[in-house]
Amino acid sequence: MERIGFVGLGLMGHGMAKNLVEKGYPLTVIAHRKREAVEDLVGRGASEAKSLEELAKASDVVVICVTGSPQVEEAVAGLKGRLASGALVIDASTADPTSTAKLHAELKATGVTLVDAPLARTPNEAWEGKLDTMVGCDPETFARVKPIVSTYASNVVHVGPFGAGHTLKLVNNFVAQGYGALYSEALAVAIKSGIAPKTFDAWMRGTRMMNGYYDTFMRSAIDGETEAFRFTARNALKDCLYLESLENGLAMSNPLSNAVKNMFAHAVSQGRGDEYVPVIAELVAKANGVTIEKA
């Protein structure tokens, strides 16, 4: 089996790496901020590298799962020139496609292939090995990548050439964050009109508008389950800004994505960026002079 290196053992990465090592792949990891994930993975059979150079030498394939393009660029800078020709770098982060194209060209010049394979779903599914991933690469590389990413993703889709994965991920997250913005305003309208949050929720759950995103969003916004939706408003804003850059490059009119972006920018400007996305429901309610009574 190919030797795997893993960079980025955060909420998603820890579970992904756990599945890689438990399903038999020789795994090398590197610490960043917290040691708990590294110690857990070493206990499961992984090895720890002290540097990116050491990790590169121990790996045929490196998976990167970090916050965004600046962090991906930093990781690639540490790996470039140290990975053997023929190696793969799988970027599972949500990144700017412009940066992806630049990194792809830089690595290609050293004989290394960059694959963009961003994720959908939550840390719970990462731990269970049931993530969704959209993969951008050529068909031959996809055949090599699929068994690896299938350890942590049950839905693996080849969406096109390199860059297509990160592009589709931004579109996916725009739809998701748009749901959050829409639910927040709708909930505020209901409350200000005298309809209790629980009544609003009970009605919506019985209609076609019910979906997995709605469930986790409202379990946090209305029921107070703060861990039900583990994705920060700051990260949502980052994704909105990447989408805006993509749309600007396409010379698009983008009124809806700008409205969604501004909702998350407001959350960050109010010092709430490190709270999870459903915080926007509280902020929209507050701006309209109402509060969400938690269950």
Residue 294 pLDDT: 79
Residue 264 pLDDT: 98
Residue 33 pLDDT: 75
Residue 57 pLDDT: 97
3-class secondary-structure state, position 5: strand
Has residue 220 got a pLDDT over 80?
yes
Q: At residue 216, what is the residue type?
A: T
Mean pLDDT on 3-18? 97
Confidence of residue 32 (pLDDT cuts 50, 70, 90): confident
Arch. (CATH architecture) of 167-287: Orthogonal Bundle (1.10)
Residue 289 pLDDT: 97
Nearest-CA neighbor of 91 among 81, 76, 80?
Answer: 76
Mean pLDDT on 135-147? 98
- Enter the DSSP assignment of 105: H
The string of pLDDT tens digits covering residues 235-286 is 999 999 999 999 999 999 999 999 999 999 999 999 999 999 999 999 999 9
Mean pLDDT on 70-93? 97
Q: Are 68 and 93 in contact (CB under 8 A)?
A: yes
Q: What Rg value do the Cα atoms of the chain yield, rounded?
A: 20
Cα end-to-end distance, the chain, whole Å: 50
The string of pLDDT tens digits covering residues 227-237 is 999 999 999 99
Distance, in Å, from the CA atom of 7 to the CA atom of 16, rounded to the nearest integer, reads 11
- Enter the DSSP assignment of 276: B
Per the listing, tokens 């799962």 go with 65
The string of pLDDT tens digits covering residues 166-198 is 999 999 999 999 999 999 999 999 999 999 999
Q: Mean pLDDT, the chain, as a whole number?
A: 96
Residue 34 pLDDT: 77
Mean pLDDT on 110-127? 96
Same-fold call for 4-161 versus 167-287: no
Distance, in Å, from the CA atom of 63 to the CA atom of 9, rounded to the nearest integer, reads 10
3-class secondary-structure state, position 120: strand
**CATH code at 4-161:** 3.40.50.720
Mean pLDDT on 33-50? 94
Per cent of the chain over pLDDT 70 is 100
Q: What are the residue boundaries of the structural domains of the chain, listed by start?
A: 4-161, 167-287
- Residue 29 pairs in a beta bridge with 6, 48
**What string of H, E and C letters represents the secondary structure of 77-95?**
HHHCCCCCCCCEEEECCCC
Just list the catalytic residues. Answer: 169
- Enter the DSSP assignment of 25: -
